[in-house]
Amino acid sequence: MHGEVQPDRRGAAEGKPSESQKSSRADTIVDRRVGRILISRDEIAARVTELGEAIGRDYAGRAPVLVGVLKGAVVFTADLLRAIPLPAAMDFMAVSSYGSGTRSSGVVRLTADLSLSIEGRDVIIVEDVIDSGRTISYLRRNLATRHPRSLALCGLLDKVSRREVDVDVDYVGFVIPDEFVVGYGLDYDGRHRELPDLAVLEPAVPA
């Protein structure tokens, strides 16, 4: 495994939810509010710097391509790009996973593709949340058919307890339990991406 030892953190992430995470409690919680901060902006910035330095060491003398997974990983991908002391490139992909409510069926479909060729390039997939592993496994298989020089995975948040498919994660920001968080690009129903910290989305307090 590349990179440094992954610190254990409390938290998780997602949007409406976005496809990288399906909270086990999201189906029963309709009204939510932003609650306590789990990972502060300073902690995020420090960890992104560490990840960038680790990637810089592992890919010294090369120019990796960061492939961000839309939309949740946009902020993380941009910050990570600036933290890597190499002439790295950046592009994006988007996928959809279908199922009932907020639970994924595991059927994944590519909805937005790369704008550049990765043949012969060192590619690092950048994901916001890695949970069941199904979506990221699909992306790895898809990108592998394009003959990159190498293919690695960097996740901001890793929900190991939700894993259904074995996934080798090369770089991890924070290992988290099955919580539901927003901020730093992660949303709920299209909201809260702009928050600088990662915070728990909690049930709304009745009026």
200, pLDDT greater than 80: yes
Strand pairing partners for 98? 107
CA angle centred on 163, ends 195 and 3, rounded to 5°: 65
Q: pLDDT, tens digit, for every residue of 121-151?
A: 999 999 999 999 999 999 999 999 999 999 9
Least trusted range by pLDDT, from 30-34, 161-165, 169-173, 188-192: 30-34
Q: Catalytic positions, please?
A: 131
Please list the residues that pair with 203 across neighbouring strands.
Answer: 32
Hey, how many other C-beta atoms are within 10 angstroms of the C-beta on 161? 12
pLDDT in tens, 75-126: 999 999 999 999 999 999 998 875 444 345 567 888 999 999 999 999 999 9
Structure tokens at 92: 């994006």
Would you say 174 and 7 are in contact if contact means Cβ atoms under 8 Å apart?
yes
Burial class (CB in 10 A: 0-12, 13-18, 19+), 201: buried
